Copies of this chain bind each other. A is one copy, B any other.
Amino acid sequence: MSLASGAFEPTRLRVRYAETDQMGRAHHMHYLAWFELGRTDLLRAAGVAYSKIEQEGVKLPVSHVEIEYRGPVRYDELVDVYTRVSGVRSRTVTFTYLAVRAETGDELAAGSTRLVCTDDKGKPRRIPPHLIDVLESLKANAHAWPES
């Protein structure tokens, strides 16, 4: 991912057997784990390791999620998760996601998660300035979704 160009690579994953349910599709709860991979990868591409953030006493628990499911995805299919920063405030950041079937480009789900910044004890605090800068930069350079 290049912040300058706005180009970026989605997070690619393969649907695990353990993620399917008896309807024969990935159970809807796993999309939240996939989106989490997407934002970890987006931050990593911008030079920020979320694991490091936590070691510095900054936690980012999820305070709101919304997902619209547009079609099923099955075991062993490849999924691309596109992620961008859509909102940055002093204490919260919002990521939005688009999951598509890698082979066909079909949209599987669109969603968002809002994260709130806390200290080690779970008390709300401001997002550290260096992280705000990265998030603002990601937001400013947010790419269009692939289908646009």
A: residues with CB less than 8 A from B are 14, 16-25, 27-30, 32-33, 36-37, 40, 49-51, 54, 59, 61-69, 72, 74-76, 122
Across-interface contacts of A36 in B (CB, < 8 A): 16-18
Given contacts A50-B76, A74-B51, contact A17 B28 (CB under 8 A): no
Nearest CB of B to A83, in Å? 14
* Interface of A, helix, strand, loop or mixed by DSSP: mixed
Nearest CB of B to A131, in Å? 16
Counting every copy of the chain, the complex holds 4
Across-interface contacts of A122 in B (CB, < 8 A): 72
Complex CA distance for A44 and B76, rounded to whole angstroms: 10
Complex CA distance for A40 and B64, rounded to whole angstroms: 24
Do B64 and A76 touch (CB < 8 A)?
A: no
Given contacts A17-B36, A28-B32, A33-B16, contact A72 B61 (CB under 8 A): yes
Q: Which of B19, B22, B24, B28 contacts A75 (CB 8 A)?
A: B22
Across-interface contacts of A27 in B (CB, < 8 A): 17-18
Nearest B residue (CB) for A61: B23
